[in-house]
Amino acid sequence: MNKAIFLDRDGTLIFDEDYLADPEKVVIIPDTEEALCEFRNSGYMLIIISNQSGIGRGIFSEEAMALVNKKVAELFKAKGIEFDAVLICPHAPEDNCECRKPSPKLLLDAAAKFNIDLANSAMIGDKLSDAQCGITAGCKYNIFLNNGKQSPPDSQEIYVVSNLLGASSIIFKK
């Protein structure tokens, strides 16, 4: 079975611009590439799992989101990093869909499609809903990136770090 690092996009891989619809505003968070290389070199698949409620709210189109995702992929590919998949929930919170984090649906779908052992995988994101998603899916590591936008969770099931290098130090027990 495969193991994976599931990553939120905004606030985890790239700086969070509210309702990002302009590919020119994509900026990679420092030290992200180094951590992603560590994960990839250790045999982890890299899968983006992202809520994009701006689509459901009519703020931007699926096409605009696709252009942003394309830019993210291009910037990381230039650094030698490729993602195995990008899974998006396009719904607004009030849609009560099955795929919006903290629901584990997108992780479970990826696990089934790519034969991923969730018990040896990690979910990393900058919102409590990211960590809750990983816990519900059965991920071994559920990591909250504390960027100051949300209070860190008080849970023994959730690791709190300041960046992806901190997440890699937990996963690799540095």
Q: Are 46 and 81 in contact (CB under 8 A)?
A: yes
For CA atoms 97, 7, 121, 154, give the dihedral sign.
negative
Q: Are 71 and 26 in contact (CB under 8 A)?
A: yes
Active-site residue list: 8, 10
Q: Are 50 and 8 in contact (CB under 8 A)?
A: yes
The angle formed by the CA atoms of residues 59, 146 and 118, to the nearest 5 degrees, is 85
pLDDT tens-digit profile, the chain (174 residues): 999 999 999 999 999 999 999 999 999 999 999 999 999 999 999 999 999 999 999 999 999 999 999 999 999 999 999 999 999 999 999 999 999 999 999 999 999 999 999 999 999 999 999 999 999 999 999 999 998 777 777 788 999 999 999 999 999 986
Find the CATH number of the domain harbouring 81. 3.40.50.1000
E strands, the chain, where?
Answer: 3-7, 44-51, 85-89, 122-125, 141-145, 159-161
Q: Are 160 and 154 in contact (CB under 8 A)?
A: no
- Write down the pTM of the prediction: 0.96
pLDDT score for 171? 96
Q: What is the DSSP letter of 119?
A: G
Domain count, the chain: 1
Distance CA 113, CA 20 (A): 28
Residue range of the domain that includes 71? 3-171
The position carrying tokens 């699926």 is 62
Give me the helix-helix angle, 32-41 and 164-171, nearest 10°. 30
